Amino acid sequence: MRGNFAKITKILSAGVVAAGLLASASAKAAEDTIKVGILHSLSGTMAISETTLKDVMLMLIDEQNAKGGLLGKKLEAVVVDPASNWPLFAEKARELISKDKVAAVFGCWTSVSRKSVLPVFSELDNILFYPVQYEGEESERNVFYTGAAPNQQAIPAVDYLMSADGGSVKRWVLEGTDYVYPRTTNKILEAYLKAKGVPAEDIMVNYTPFGFSDWQTEVSAIKKFGSAGKKTAVVSTVNGDANVPFYKELGNQGIKAEDIPVMAFSVGEEELAGLDTGPLVGHLAAWNYFESVDTPENKKFIDNWHKFIKNDKRTTNDPMEAHYIGFNMWVKAVEKAGTTDPDKVIDAMVGVSVPNLTGGYSTMMPNHHITKPVLIGEIQADGQFETVSQTPGLVMGDEWSDYLPDSKDLISDWRAPLSCGNFNVKTGKCGGKGTN
């Protein structure tokens, strides 16, 4: 009996020693490099968009290492595949932070995937850089939003269409895919349009399911809505795969951009790559970056991208620029803080300013959103966008929309002493009401 016990103790202690050795070994490895997590779907429906972002992160990390790394250490990318499966995003995020001990994570595309990882990041206190334009109504201490908030994309786009240059549009179709981003954006836009004096009968809102492919009824409804003798435009928050059949149907039914322009918020160079853009010339998109922007920084970025991916036909797009900005901001903040400790880096991030690809500087604001210019582009026959309008200055991301009753009194400021993501200026309390 006693012998047995001794044996067990021995085995156990050997195990503990071995485990300790292993732990110290991995701790040693961790000291040599700084790990950066990449949380983008490489399979499933979102792979079409997210794979590119994984590649661009690998490129940026390579470039940083070629410059000598960070804090005297090399950067090491840890790539995981959440497979377009929202709960898996949370699991993989936990794995990256707890097991791989990454210093920061760059990832997510859809809002639902971001929402599913939020609790993980606040629980384990790490950093997420989110590179995609989104619906706003959120500000988290652990998340930095490098994509556009609605006021950095949707509102300026509508303003452009209302202007004389954009065709003085009087009648609006808000066409979207049925999920949180289009629904919230359209809610904001509807409130905004009504505030601008557009009567309710001149606004048509319509939603279609994900991956919708038979657009005949919708396009003919748009045609019908557009024949009321007033200049009509479509504001499209149609997402991903559904765009190609949508544009094909527009082209086939002969809806010309000169008559009914379509302004899209989710169509970039990458989406147009699968399309013959000849019939689509003149339809619009609003982004903070276009591949066609003519600046030395952008030219260098595109050249590097083509070299890295070994294909000079691959396009660049807005979320790629967002990762470019986010990564450079993180590098700068780590250098400023002198450590990769997430807590210290989060505090160091606010106020960091790095060059963007459109010839200016983007700055991280206290609400964890960045400043960006807003560009309106028209689709060209070669599948690129040509900028037809640009905001005169940089636009600051506004997380809580001023046009929604539930969020108009909220602000976010993560600097001490306020340190709050939803401070209600009316009641003077942190923890106001948001619409989610």
Partner 1 sequence: MASRPWTLPGRVSRPARARSSKPSFTQFRTENRFTLFLELLEKNRLNTTMMMLRTIGLMLLLTMASLLPSQAGEADLRATVGKFAAATGFSATEAVVRELAASGDPSVERPLSALADGNLYIRKADTQVFVGKEAGEGVELLDPLNGEKVADAVKADLTKIKVNNGLRRIIRDALGTLTLRAKDTSVRLAAAATMFKTPDAANMEPLDAAIAAETDTAVKAMFEQARAASVLVSDKPEADKLTAISVIAVRGDRDALSLLTSAEANAQGAVKEAATAAIGQINSTLALWDAGQNIWYGISLGSVLLLAAIGLAITFGVMGVINMAHGEMVMLGAYTTFVVQQVIRTSFPGLFDWSLVIALPLAFLVAALVGLAIERGIIRFLYGRPLETLLATWGVSLILQQAVRTIFGPTNQEVGNPSWMSGSFDIGQLAITWNRLWILVFALLLFGVLLYVMKRTPWGLQMRAVTANRRMAASMGIKTPWVDALTFALGSGIAGIAGVALSQIDNVSPNLGRGYIIDSFMVVVFGGVGNLWGTLVGAFSLGIVNKVLEPYAGAVLGKIVVLVLIILFIQKRPRGLFALKGRAVEA
The nearer residue to partner 1, 286 or 333, going by C-beta atoms, is 286
E strand segments, 215-279 = 232-237, 262-264
User: Please, what is the minimum distance in Å from the beta carbon of residue 113 to partner 1?
Assistant: 17
User: Please, what is the minimum distance in Å from the beta carbon of residue 318 to partner 1?
Assistant: 15
The nearer residue to partner 1, 317 or 401, going by C-beta atoms, is 317
The nearer residue to partner 1, 31 or 258, going by C-beta atoms, is 258
Nearest to 133 by CA among 387, 375, 305, 349: 375
Q: How far apart are CA 102 and CA 100, in angstroms?
A: 6
User: Please, what is the minimum distance in Å from the beta carbon of residue 388 to partner 1?
Assistant: 4
Neighbour tally for 180: CB within 10 Å = 16
User: Please, what is the minimum distance in Å from the beta carbon of residue 280 to partner 1?
Assistant: 11
Quick one: how many helices (H) and strands (E) in the chain?
A: 12, 19
Is residue 38 within 8 A of residue 89, CB to CB? The reply is: no
| Paired sense of beta strands 420-424 and 429-430, if any | antiparallel
The nearer residue to partner 1, 389 or 412, going by C-beta atoms, is 389
Q: What is the dihedral of CA 240, 242, 247, 252, to 10 degrees?
A: 160
User: Please, what is the minimum distance in Å from the beta carbon of residue 16 to partner 1?
Assistant: 41
User: Please, what is the minimum distance in Å from the beta carbon of residue 164 to partner 1?
Assistant: 8
The edge-to-edge listing of strands for the beta sheet with 420-424 is 410-413, 420-424, 429-430
Q: How far apart are CA 74 and CA 69, in angstroms?
A: 5
- Residue with the two structure tokens 């590098």: 331
Is residue 308 within 8 A of residue 62, CB to CB? The reply is: yes
User: Please, what is the minimum distance in Å from the beta carbon of residue 381 to partner 1?
Assistant: 7
Q: Is the dihedral of CA 298, 366, 268, 252 positive or negative?
A: negative
Q: How far apart are CA 223 and CA 255, in angstroms?
A: 8
The nearer residue to partner 1, 50 or 413, going by C-beta atoms, is 50
The nearer residue to partner 1, 164 or 416, going by C-beta atoms, is 164
The nearer residue to partner 1, 111 or 208, going by C-beta atoms, is 208
User: Please, what is the minimum distance in Å from the beta carbon of residue 59 to partner 1?
Assistant: 16
Q: If you write DSSP's letter for every residue of 115-148 in order, what string do you get?
A: HHHHHHHHHHT--EEE-S--------TTEEE-S-
Nearest to 285 by CA among 299, 302, 295, 270: 270
The nearer residue to partner 1, 62 or 259, going by C-beta atoms, is 259
Nearest to 248 by CA among 277, 268, 226, 271: 277
The nearer residue to partner 1, 59 or 331, going by C-beta atoms, is 59
The nearer residue to partner 1, 364 or 376, going by C-beta atoms, is 376
Q: Is the dihedral of CA 340, 343, 348, 351 positive or negative?
A: positive
* Apex 117 CA angle, 115 and 119, nearest 5: 90
Q: How far apart are CA 182 and CA 174, in angstroms?
A: 9
User: Please, what is the minimum distance in Å from the beta carbon of residue 225 to partner 1?
Assistant: 10
User: Please, what is the minimum distance in Å from the beta carbon of residue 394 to partner 1?
Assistant: 21
Q: How far apart are CA 247 and CA 258, in angstroms?
A: 15
User: Please, what is the minimum distance in Å from the beta carbon of residue 268 to partner 1?
Assistant: 11
The nearer residue to partner 1, 3 or 229, going by C-beta atoms, is 229
Which residues are within 8 A (CB) of 160 and not within 5 positions of it... i.e. 6 or more apart? 166, 263, 284, 286, 376, 389
Binding site for partner 1 (CB under 8 A): 42-45, 47-48, 51-52, 164-167, 178, 206-209, 211-214, 216-218, 220-221, 223-224, 226-230, 241, 244-245, 248-249, 251-254, 257-259, 261, 270-271, 273-276, 278-279, 281-282, 284, 378, 380-381, 386, 388
